[in-house]
Amino acid sequence: MAIIKVEDLKMHYKTKMGYVKAVDGISFELESGESLGIVGESGCGKTSVSMTLLRTLPENAEFMGGHVWFNDNGKMVDLTQLSEDEMRHYRWKGISMVFQAAMNSLNPVYKVGDQIVEAILTHYPETPIDEARAKVARLFELVTLDPKRMDEYPHQYSGGMKQRAVIALALACDPKIIIADEPTTALDVIVQDRILRELKNVQEQLNMAMIYISHDIAVIAEVSKKIAVMYAGKFVEQSDSTTIFKKPMHPYTFLLMNAFPSHVGEKKKLFTIPGEPPNLLNPPTGCRFAPRCPWATEKCGVEEPPYVEVESGHYLACWHPLTEEVRQNELRK
């Protein structure tokens, strides 16, 4: 059974100029031990999805509908309907998060170990402190930090170590789902490589579900078995990673995958996507990608394509899915 099931999730930001439709009808589900990568460009709403799931929204955000079903030992609970106090019970114990800027998510005036102990004691107040510290030491080992450095302050850590500590913090209460929002974006490649390996190991060892959010297709390709491509507040395509890379049916997915340079293999021609991502205050009518889509027809600008399952496990929102022939033609050009 799914550990989380999201249905038609909507969250908009209220601004002076109107509503910014950052999350506009997102649906997906995830089993234990599965990892879903959400890939999209800046401003497409991918971080807003994670904030909506955890209900850590800024003041001007408005929840506009949808359901987040969380599997609490067999019982499906709708997180969107809970009170703030009830929600707090699921946050960190049910779903936890690794934030993008590790340097900012640790408190500079507390020792790193103590911050993780605090998280454990907040959710399990009856835990003896020695036990909590022992757990932190185990978590440190899991993310390959030296447990001796528990009693140091964040400024004594390097960027990669801080990011590891933040991962340990996210694991402190044995969550069922971990959301990683661009956890390696600020890091150099060699450090990024280690963090990615650890995150993947931990996820597999603990059989957690993971939602990995990034703009970097190459990173997503490595950590996620399933990939959802997000564009302008909506998922446009979702499938297993091989299908997304080798047989994408949505024009945006296809162009995005082929716009990404690689340093190995044959030097391929890079694709460009004309235009710029839309402003979510006034998203285009019909398909939101239509104004930039080389294959768009009149219908695309008028009617919005539904997000439907076209093959088993392959979801798509497009009136004119690309065929193998079209893809091959494009790649040969």
**Please, which residue, 87 or 221, has the CB nearer to another protein?**
221
197 binds another protein (CB under 8 A): yes
Of 92-100, 139-147, 198-206, 217-225: span binding another protein (CB under 8 A): 217-225
Angle between helices 129-142 and 189-205 (to 10 degrees): 120
Verify binding: residue 188, another protein, rule CB under 8 A. Answer: yes
| 3 state SS for 158-171 | CHHHHHHHHHHHHH
Member of 58, 128, 265, 306 binding another protein (CB under 8 A) = 265
Residue labelled with tokens 């170590």: 161
Structure tokens at 234: 């909506």
The stretch near another protein (CB under 8 A) out of 96-104, 143-151, 169-177, 268-276 is 268-276
- Say how far apart CA 51 and CA 58 lie, in whole Å: 9
Per DSSP bridges, beta strands 75-78 and 95-98 are unpaired
The answer to whether 83 contacts another protein (rule: CB under 8 A) is no
The SS3 of residue 253 is helix
Binding residue (CB under 8 A) for another protein from 23, 106, 179, 219: 219
Structural tokens at position 231? 């564009």
Which one of residues 33, 277, 301, 321 is an interface residue with another protein (CB under 8 A)? Answer: 277
Interface with another protein includes 259 (CB under 8 A)?
A: yes
Secondary-structure percent of the chain, ordered helix, strand, coil, rounded to 5: 35, 25, 40
Interface with another protein in residues 111-170 (CB under 8 A): 158, 160
| Token pair listed for 33 | 């031990």
Confirm if 228 and 28 have CB atoms less than 8 A apart: yes
Instruction: Figure out which of the listed residues 10, 200, 215, 327 binds another protein, where binding follows CB under 8 A.
Output: 215
Exactly one of 262, 282, 297, 328 binds another protein (CB under 8 A); which one?
262
What residues make contact with another protein under the rule CB under 8 A?
41-42, 158, 160, 188-193, 196-197, 215-219, 221-222, 241-242, 245, 255-257, 259-265, 267, 270-274, 276-277
